[in-house]
A and B are shown apart, each in its own frame.
Chain A
Amino acid sequence: MMGKEIKIAYYIARKDLKAYYLKPPLISWGIMLPIVFILAFYLRNPEGISEIGPGLVGMTMLFSTTSMAAIVISFEKRIDALERLLMAPIHLRTILIGKGLGAAAFGFAMGLIALLLIVFVFGLHIAHPFSLLVSLLLSSFVFAFLGILISVGVREIFEAMTLSNFFRFPMIFLCGVFSPICTMPLALQIIGFCLPLTYSVDALRQSLLSHGGVIHRWLDILILAGFCLMLFEIALIIFRKRTQESS
């Protein structure tokens, strides 16, 4: 039974990748986004790229994953294609896992492109490859479920994008992407510690640079896993409610 649901979640993700994510405009956008992010900061401060590199990887994943997850779900809702999944003999949980899997795969690929740029072009050394891989994977799922949570709660694509930005832009400044979170005022630190990008950047920074962490990288990873579950469960509750509301 469990195996069947996992298999169907995989088919949903594969269909999304084929139908939406692997289209030339998205691939080019997905490659351009990390390059532009990294080049912009590199040209501003070439020496500082190693310090903000992990944050840029996290930011790239945050933007690409939440955008695509929100767009795909809002688009399918708009054209009634999501209903196709609701009519099939599968649990709502499986549908969301499938959707999250597709978006996370895209976000992971984007994060990998940014990481490869930083590692090979700017010569960064990876201190802890395994925790880096786990951080990348978990971050992509956390951001995918954040994008899904936003999109299941709204009706239109533009609403999803507006709401996404409401969460994303503050995160860039509150989660230690550009400056360590400990240097911020206490009130902002408290907000920062409530946001998943903080733990993503912290885990990536320690895995890449071996220093500069706020908490231990495996604790970051554990908290990311918690965010992953929490965002998924909230998205599921809203999705269930919304599917019953539609007439």
Chain B
Amino acid sequence: MDKNGIIQAQGLSKRFGAIQAVDRLNFSVKEGEIFGFLGPNGAGKTTTIRMLVGLLRPDSGTALVNGYDVLNEPVRAKGSVGVVPESSNLYGELSAMENLIYMAQLYDVPKKEWVPRGEELLQEFNLLDRKNGKFQGFSRGMKRRLTIAAALVHRPRILFLDEPTTGLDVMSARGLRAVVKNLKKKGVTVFLTTHLIQEAEDLCDRVAIIVKGKIRITDTPEALKESVKETEVLEMKVQPFPPSLPKDMEVIQGVEKATIIEDKLRLYGKSLHGSIAPIINQLDAKGITTFSIHTLTPTLEDAFVKLTGVDAESMRVDKPIKTGGPG
């Protein structure tokens, strides 16, 4: 583990009743990088963030954030980071500007900077024309942008983003990813969690894949893809899709893993070309029609499936969004 990391976790564990949410995590985040925690819902991503930002006390292990021990110096650690939780939880009754000023007050920003800093952030996040609009009247994308702006009001060196694009439309999500890339250019270290493989590939300098509370692997998206470069990937459009289809395919010699991604069957193996005939025969025998077959260059999604055994399709399921709140 890099002892100079701006975020360092050692042996972090947290249990809720019978569930081991996070199990002895060790990782280090370098200053200025975008570090992603990638995993399916319930993998322990949010629990990890909550421990790192002092919202949750770990059962065991230590974490240093910006040089502060989050257990022994929680107030100092909190003061040096910005946190964007999964729900956009600013105050619905307050305007955009009032929300930013309130955050500046909570983070002890000097009074003379409240309004200029608020206007600077509203300008940067393209919300200046709505500075007097109440948060509760904003669209989901605008709420998300303002929540990120609020987390930056005290100019933190580290920004924690929990599932930043969950529930957003394609355009808002794209805009937010541009915002995150821009933060990196300004030297802000970003720690983000996501269940979206494409998002991790687009944004992150390094990715830690977490499944059932344990980190399976940490590396750059390129290196993770490299780890599956020997793997051939076949994508097949077939109909119908019986639930047992992936399992039926995995018994064919040469097929190491089968999964359904969107409405296509994806097969992984070292020498799949030699297995095409038995694959089609197996499909025919089950009364499944094959419409097309493509070979693909392995992506991070393929690396994820290969390394974790988790179906990529399960990663596409968003967590339910809280209703009744401002977010």
Contacts and interface: CB of A to CB of B under 8 A. Distances in A.
B89 A88 contact: no
Interface stretch (B100-108, B260-268, B274-282): B100-108
B91 A19 contact: yes
A84 B89 contact: yes
Given A80-B85, A81-B326, A247-B47, A86 B94 contact: no
Nearest to A82: B89
A244 B89 contact: no
Given A78-B324, A243-B55, A88 B93 contact: no
A20 interface: yes
A90 B76 CA distance: 9
Contact of A79 (B54, B106, B326): B326
B75 A83 contact: no
Interface in B26-41: none
B90 A86 contact: no
A133 interface: no
Contacts of B107: 88-89
Q: How large is the interface on B (under 10, 10 to 19, 20 to 34, 35 or more residues)?
A: 20 to 34
Contact of A80 (B94, B103, B106, B322): B322
Interface string B49-74: 01001111100000000000000000
Contacts of B92: 79
Interface string A1-22: 0001001100110010011100
Contacts of A20: 93
Contacts of B103: 88
Contacts of B50: 247
A87 interface: yes
Contact of B56 (A12, A84, A91, A247): A247
B105 A86 contact: no
Given A79-B89, A79-B324, A86 B55 contact: yes
A127 interface: no
Contacts of B85: 80, 83, 87
B306 interface: no
A23 B136 CA distance: 15
A90 B54 CA distance: 11
A126 B268 CA distance: 87
A85 interface: yes
Contact of A247 (B16, B54, B75): B16
A15 B102 contact: yes
A8 B322 contact: no
Contacts of B203: none
A244 B102 contact: no
Nearest to A88: B106
A8 B89 contact: no
Contact of B327 (A80, A86, A87): A80
A87 B93 contact: no
Nearest to A86: B55
A79 B106 CA distance: 19
B106 A85 contact: yes
Nearest to B57: A244
A21 to B, nearest CB: 11
B106 A8 contact: yes
Interface in A210-238: none
Interface in B75-100: 75-76, 78-79, 83, 85, 87, 89-94, 98
B303 interface: no
A78 B85 CA distance: 15
Given A19-B91, A87-B85, A11 B106 contact: yes
Most buried by B among A4, A85, A89, A243: A89
Contacts of A243: 55
Nearest to B83: A87
B89 A89 contact: no
Interface string B5-35: 0000000000010000100000000000000
Contacts of B83: 87
A135 to B, nearest CB: 32
B235 to A, nearest CB: 37
B55 to A, nearest CB: 6
A247 B16 CA distance: 8
Contact of A87 (B55, B57, B108, B326): B55
B127 to A, nearest CB: 18
Q: Closest 10 A-B residue pairs measured CB to CB? A: A89-B79, A79-B325, A19-B93, A80-B89, A11-B105, A88-B106, A89-B78, A87-B83, A89-B75, A80-B87
Given A78-B324, A80-B89, A84-B91, 4 more contacts: A79-B324, A87-B54, A247-B16, A247-B56
18 contacts: A4-B108, A7-B105, A8-B106, A8-B108, A11-B102, A11-B106, A15-B91, A15-B102, A18-B94, A19-B93, A81-B89, A81-B90, A81-B325, A87-B78, A87-B85, A89-B108, A246-B56, A247-B50
Interface of B: 16, 21, 47, 50, 53-57, 75-76, 78-79, 83, 85, 87, 89-94, 98, 102-103, 105-108, 322, 324-327
Interface of A: 4, 7-8, 11-12, 15, 18-20, 23, 78-81, 83-91, 243-244, 246-247
